[in-house]
Amino acid sequence: MARDYSFSVSSATNHFNRPNFVIAYATAVFALDPKAPANANNMAAAIYTAGKSLSQGKTNSTGINSYQKDAEAIYLYPFPSQ
Amino acid sequence: MPTTEAASQKIEADSKAAEKEGLRQFEALTKELGLENMAAQAGTGSGADGLNPASNLFPMLMSQEPEYKEAPVIGGGSLSDVEFRTPEEKARALRAVNAELESLPVKLPKKEDAPDQTAILKLAASYNASSRKNFRPDELSAYTGAVTFNPSFDS
């Protein structure tokens, strides 16, 4: 099921400008199968892309940094199968 | 008829005036371009014996075009450093670049910095909770309306 939603998550990340929805969707699909690299990568991309969108209106300097760090941590995530 | 004759004379006079005006403009233009001789020639002739300005202006302008001269190539013109660097110099330059790169901190991720599955799931849960709190139902409706397939979120 997680595999079926992979494309949907990535396309929503790329083409759908609803950051909160995209993060919720990507994290939910990742939780369905945390061993799949595609889901983790999709989640990282969603967090970074949506985070960029969410932090645009904010004035504090941290802004995108927290999203960026979390996305980076997810990219580093070693998969149990590897 | 006198009226027609007068009209034809008027037309002839107008055409002569127009011709003179054209000639005057042409002379002004050729003076501006520095072609006084041509303007004089054109001014002397008229009709079939005169110099046709339009047919001669272009070749004269072309004859005044400066010839294209290729710039002299200095130093062989290639990026090959065969002529400029000896093998020793090349090796020295390579060593300098490598030394500079090796002095920079390694940016590749370390294995021990990578989070484990529990931490990632915790991160995902926290993001999911905060995002679900913030996103409005109409966002979900917009998404289901935008996609061509029908995702079911209740299974």
- Closest Cβ–Cβ partner in A24, A31, A73 for B121: A31
Write the ipTM.
0.84
* Pick from A10, A22, A30: nearest CA to A54: A22
Q: What is the DSSP letter of B153?
A: S
Kindly state whether residue B56 falls inside one of the protein's structural domains. yes
Q: How do residues A30-50 score in pLDDT, each as one tens digit?
A: 998 888 888 899 999 999 999
Kindly state whether residue B4 falls inside one of the protein's structural domains. no
With contacts defined as CB-CB under 8 Å, which chain B residues touch A77?
Answer: 114-115, 117, 120
Kindly state whether residue B72 falls inside one of the protein's structural domains. no
What's the CA gap between A48 and B17, in Å, rounded? 78
Please give the structure tokens belonging to residue B153: 């979120």
Domains of chain A, by residue range, sit at 2-76
What's the CA gap between A46 and A26, in Å, rounded? 6
CA distances from B36 to B12, B60, B61, B63 (A): 29, 12, 13, 15
Q: Which of A8, A15, A27 to mutate to test the interface with B (most CBs of B within 10 A)?
A: A27
pLDDT score, position A27: 93
Kindly state whether residue B103 falls inside one of the protein's structural domains. no
Q: How do residues B22-35 score in pLDDT, each as one tens digit?
A: 888 888 877 777 66
pLDDT score, position A82: 46
In this structure, the number of other CB atoms found within 10 A of the CB of residue B120 comes to: 23
Q: How do residues B46-65 score in pLDDT, each as one tens digit?
A: 444 455 555 555 555 556 66
Largest CA distance in chain B: 114
Q: How many CB pairs under 8 A join A and B?
A: 77
With contacts defined as CB-CB under 8 Å, which chain A residues touch B149?
Answer: 8
Kindly state whether residue B155 falls inside one of the protein's structural domains. no
Interchain pair B135, A11: CB under 8 A: no
CA distances from A22 to A26, B38, B110, B122, B139 (A): 6, 77, 29, 18, 10
Query: What total of structural domains would you count in chain B?
Result: 2
The residue length of chain B stands at 155
Indicate if the pLDDT at residue B125 is higher than 90.
Answer: yes
pLDDT score, position A47: 93
With contacts defined as CB-CB under 8 Å, which chain B residues touch A32?
Answer: none
* Pick from A43, A39, A33: nearest CA to B128: A43
- Please answer whether residues A16 and A50 qualify as being in contact, where contact means their C-beta atoms are separated by less than 8 angstroms: no
Kindly state whether residue B70 falls inside one of the protein's structural domains. no
Q: What is the mean pLDDT of chain B?
A: 72
Average pLDDT over residues A44-66: 80
B137 lies in which domain range?
Answer: 111-146
